[in-house]
Structure 1
Amino acid sequence: MADSLDSIRQIIGELADDDGDFYVACAETDECPAPLTGRRFPSEAAAREAADLARRYRGTLRESDTELPEHRLSVYENGGEPLTIVSTRKRAAGRRENGLPRTSRSVVLSGDGEHEWLRMDNAPVVHVRQDGEPLPDDAVERQLDSKL
């Protein structure tokens, strides 16, 4: 079994390209499970082949570990440049209960698409991804709780 898993990982590695425009992730969570973590592919065909191989790989692992999470793997094209965040804070009228001055915070997110932007005033801003992977729900929840 180990040789089979090793060979699948090797083939996926050979299909991968650091500058690739495609990746494979779970359709529900956007997680890139092993052996796809951090991998990009030069074409949709290469990404589809990698997805098929990853399904085989995870199926083989599941024979030994029935608790291994199942993922519905899909191929995605990178959306271009990552989003840019600009945050500004300015003083507002009045003071908080703790005596500190009130402030107003505005955040603008923008990307390389023509209409790809979002502006938020006085809303909590949290990180939902780290190193290209979605953060667990409890990590996002902790960030939201800290903003209250």
Structure 2
Amino acid sequence: MPDSLDAIRGRIDRRADESGDFYVACAETDERPAPLTGRRFPTEAAASEAADLARAYREALRESDPELPERRLSVYELTDDPPTLVSTRKRAAGRRDNGLPRTSRSVTLSGDCESEWLRMDNAPLVHVRRDGEPLPDDAVERQLDSKL
């Protein structure tokens, strides 16, 4: 007989460590779906075991909710260096409708991991994470709408 959802969650909790250097997240979205939300793990092996347990948990949950999204779970190591944000603004030709000079703004976000870089020119800058977790799409959409 397969483990209950509570039993699987307990097994994940026993592997977790608040000060751990590893976490498990969706490879496409970096979201940490239940039962992994907020969990960190002391070793890569413990995180890998937790990922396997989370797959079993979500498979069991999918029996009662077939619409539960599929997630490709991967193990990641936390980094000590936060990403660096560099913003530059240059004067451009012409004036805006309100009479102020036109400017061009570039923002570059970089970190020590390959996946931590982004460069935007003349685009609105919005927050996409809070407390280490990605913001829901609707929250990002509201921020973008407010920039218009």
User: Shared fold by TM > 0.5?
Assistant: yes
Counterparts of 1:127 and 1:48 in 2: how far apart (Å)?
29
Task: Quote how far apart the aligned CAs of 1:119 are.
Answer: 6.3
Counterparts of 1:13 and 1:21 in 2: how far apart (Å)?
15
2:59 maps to 1:59: yes
RMSD of equivalent CA atoms: 2.9
Q: Name the counterpart of 1:47.
A: 47
Task: Quote how far apart the aligned CAs of 1:109 are.
Answer: 3.2
2:20 maps to 1:5: no
Q: TM-score, normalised by structure 2?
A: 0.75
Q: TM-score, normalised by structure 1?
A: 0.75
Counterparts of 2:67 and 2:94 in 1: how far apart (Å)?
54
Tell which deviates more after alignment, 67-76 or 86-95.
Answer: 86-95
Alpha carbons of structure 1 residues 118 and 49: separation in structure 2 relative to 1, 3 Å: closer
For residue 4 of structure 2, give the secondary structure of its aligned residue in structure 1. helix
Q: Name the counterpart of 1:17.
A: 17
For residue 42 of structure 1, give the secondary structure of its aligned residue in structure 2. coil
Q: How many residues align?
A: 145
Q: Name the counterpart of 1:135.
A: 135
- Give 5+ residue unaligned stretches, structure 1: none
Q: Spell out the pairing of 1:1-148 with structure 2 (5 A cutoff).
A: 4-87=4-87, 95-100=95-100, 102-103=102-103, 105-111=105-111, 122-148=122-148
Task: Quote how far apart the aligned CAs of 1:27 are.
Answer: 1.5
